[in-house]
Amino acid sequence: MNHLTVKKSSKVAAVDFVPAWGDLEGNIRRLAEAAEKVAAQGVDYAVFPETAVSGYLFSDSAELAPYLAGSDCYLVMYGNQDCQLKKAQNQLHQAGIQVKVNLLEGDNSIVDELCNFAVQHHIDLIIMGAFGHSRLRQFFTGSHTTEMIHKTPVSLLIIR
């Protein structure tokens, strides 16, 4: 019989990390050093700034194209959004980003369908936008972004 050990508390660190603009290799090296330093201090979870690796604040999808070259990229939407899906595909294509397009439908929630898709297609990273809704609406309906954070089986990058 397997016994599950539940940890009662976790040590979390918010790391003050200022990336060097465009120095991807240097940022990755310094980021790894910072992660090792906090791990040596017994930290369970470390939070780094969203631009910690690249040092970039992308203002246009064309700026992402070189980083996605040679990768299998999927553009996935859920429900009756065929027009928006084609529009997004065209924007990415114009930026030099080739994608495989999938419109998901099903009996599961949006988040469950996205998580299932990620597993079925061996996806390593999900990049999704976070749309701000009122605090009142989020209280009553929740947020897909929050649910993805809790349920996704792969790395998740949220862009605002």
Pairing of strands 125-129, 100-104: unpaired
pLDDT of residue 92: 86
| Beta strand ranges found along 28-149 (DSSP E) | 45-47, 74-78, 100-104, 125-129
pTM (predicted TM-score): 0.57
- Residue-wise pLDDT tens digits, 97-138: 889 999 998 888 888 999 999 999 999 888 887 665 555 544
- Residue-wise pLDDT tens digits, 74-102: 999 888 888 888 998 998 888 888 899 99
| CA dihedral of residues 103, 107, 109, 115 (deg, nearest 10) | -60
